[in-house]
């Protein structure tokens, strides 16, 4: 039986990249057979690797939990909780810090991107972030992790840490970790720059569609999205396997991005999307995409807005989830401590 773990940071501005790349897949997986448990976590410990306003963090934690439920995650089927409520995550992270090699962390590209030129002033937490992520997954001995494409490298590291633990202590305790990266929009790009990932922290509001955006805002952001001067490409832009050819992705990243988002929103193939708009102008594609996003995203945003006002309900979901997660992870942690030789 598979065990699923994934997390989202409560850093605000949840966008369609988070939704199509991760949260939508959480919902799909919840319906699959052969799954023992699904843990969906609001990873607040990760968030403080960069300073957060305490009141804002509390608010965003509830908002992220609301996004899970509004998107279709059923708290009766999945364990929804926030990371700081379950002490095993931080405790196991220390143990795994002693397994992980500095050279492995030095290769993490996300740290380089996030720390930028000011590496010396970045927090130790930001550097060790991927080890905490490994701990999140391994606290529940989860083997499958649904994420966006940007998390691939962190999951390879988590797998290496788990394997080294098993090797060093001559056990077969941790399972093989596998990323679940699927759907048509595993890496949604910025609407202002098709080479950059759509991101919560992008200064430009026009770079992303937020889950809480209203109809007019969605339409306006899509209208202003960067394009190129050609018309929409034809089927020759696709490989035999239905993916966009690499040279098309390089030459026309914005067009590819808009079509990929349409595929994710409509659950259609790239061939279908390209056939619908081939030879047409971007204004046609943008109109179709706006309509599609409005029909898919507005209901989630509306449900989120309603739920955010019911703090009591959201807190009760997080409390129940934390109790289950605490119990499950404590059991594993005791076994891990025993393997290591702690009395
Ligand atoms: N643009 C994206 N396309 C597809 N998937 C994405 N994810 C994030 N951005 C995209 C996936 O969403 C999940 C939760 O992400 P996170 O909250 O842990 O933070 P992140 O990856 O750091 O997200 P952002 O938006 O890029 O935030 P900032 O600006 O803070 O760096 C993950 O599964 C992620 O892959």
- pLDDT tens column, 267-290: 999 999 999 999 999 999 999 999
Is 197 catalytic? The answer is: yes
Residue 200 CA to ligand 1 center (angstroms) comes to 7
* Closest listed residue to residue 62, CA positions, set 319, 324, 326: 319
- pLDDT bin (cut points 50, 70, 90) of residue 5 is very high
Number of continuous H segments (helices) and E segments (strands) in the chain: 15, 5
pLDDT-above-70 percentage for the chain: 100
Choice among 24, 37, 141, 197 that is catalytic? 197
Is 114 catalytic? The answer is: yes
Residue 67 CA to ligand 1 center (angstroms) comes to 14
**Residue 6 host element (H or E):** strand 2-8
pTM, two decimals, is 0.96
C-beta of residue 81 within 8 angstroms of C-beta of residue 104: no
The phi-psi region of residue 198 (left if phi > 0; otherwise alpha if psi is between -120 and 50; otherwise beta) is: beta
Class of domain 2-185+311-340: alpha beta
What is the per-residue pLDDT for 205?
Answer: 97
Q: Which residue has the tokens 């509830």?
A: 62
Q: Is the pLDDT of residue 159 over 90?
A: yes
CATH of domain 205-307: 1.10.240.10
What is the per-residue pLDDT for 36?
Answer: 93
Residue 148 CA to ligand 1 center (angstroms) comes to 7
Query: Per-domain residue ranges for the chain?
Result: 2-185+311-340, 205-307
- pLDDT bin (cut points 50, 70, 90) of residue 343 is confident
Q: Is the pLDDT of residue 116 over 90?
A: no
Q: DSSP secondary structure string, 144-155?
A: EEE--GGGHHHH
- pLDDT bin (cut points 50, 70, 90) of residue 16 is very high
What is the per-residue pLDDT for 337?
Answer: 98
Question: How confident is the model over 311-322, as a mean pLDDT?
Answer: 98
What is the per-residue pLDDT for 118?
Answer: 85
Choice from 39, 150, 187, 253 to test ligand 1 binding pocket (greatest atom count within 8 A of CB): 150
C-beta of residue 40 within 8 angstroms of C-beta of residue 6: yes
Task: Measure the CA–CA gap between 268 and 308, rounded to whole angstroms.
Answer: 32
What is the per-residue pLDDT for 255?
Answer: 98
Mean pLDDT of the chain, nearest integer: 97
Tens digit of each residue's pLDDT (9 = 90 or more) over 60-98: 999 999 999 999 999 999 999 999 999 999 999 999 999
């Amino acid at each position: 039986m598979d065990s699923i773990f994934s997390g989202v940071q409560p850093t605000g501005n949840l966008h369609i990249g988070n939704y199509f790349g991760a949260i939508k897949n959480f919902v799909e997986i919840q319906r699959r057979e052969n799954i023992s448990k699904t843990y969906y976590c609001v990873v607040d410990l990760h968030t403080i690797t960069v300073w957060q306003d305490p009141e804002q963090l509390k608010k965003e934690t509830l908002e992220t939990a609301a996004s899970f439920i509004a998107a279709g995650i059923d708290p009766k089927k999945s364990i929804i909780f926030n990371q700081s409520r379950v002490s095993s995550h931080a405790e196991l992270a220390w143990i795994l810090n002693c397994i992980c090699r500095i050279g492995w962390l030095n290769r993490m590209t996300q740290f380089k991107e996030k720390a930028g030129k000011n590496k010396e002033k970045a927090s130790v937490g930001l550097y060790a972030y991927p080890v905490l992520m490994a701990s999140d997954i391994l606290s529940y001995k989860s083997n499958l992790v649904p994420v966006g494409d940007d998390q691939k490298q962190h999951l390879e590291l988590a797998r290496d840490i788990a394997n080294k633990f098993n090797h060093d202590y001559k056990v077969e305790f941790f399972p093989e970790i596998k990323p679940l990266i699927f759907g048509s929009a595993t890496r949604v790009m910025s609407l202002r720059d098709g080479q950059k990932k759509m991101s919560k922290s992008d200064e430009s509001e026009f770079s992303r569609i937020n889950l809480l955006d209203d109809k007019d805002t969605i339409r306006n952001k899509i209208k202003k999205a960067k394009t190129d001067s050609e018309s929409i490409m034809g089927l020759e832009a696709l490989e035999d396997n239905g993916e966009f050819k690499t040279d098309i992705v390089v030459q026309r990243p914005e067009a590819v991005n808009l079509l990929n988002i349409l595929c994710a929103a409509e659950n259609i193939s790239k061939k279908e999307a390209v056939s619908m708009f081939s030879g047409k102008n971007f204004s046609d594609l943008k109109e179709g995409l706006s309509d599609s996003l409005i029909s898919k995203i507005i209901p989630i945003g509306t449900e989120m807005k309603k739920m955010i006002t019911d703090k009591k309900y959201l807190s009760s979901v997080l409390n129940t989830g934390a109790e289950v997660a605490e119990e499950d992870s404590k059991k594993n942690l005791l076994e891990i401590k025993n393997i290591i030789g702690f009395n």
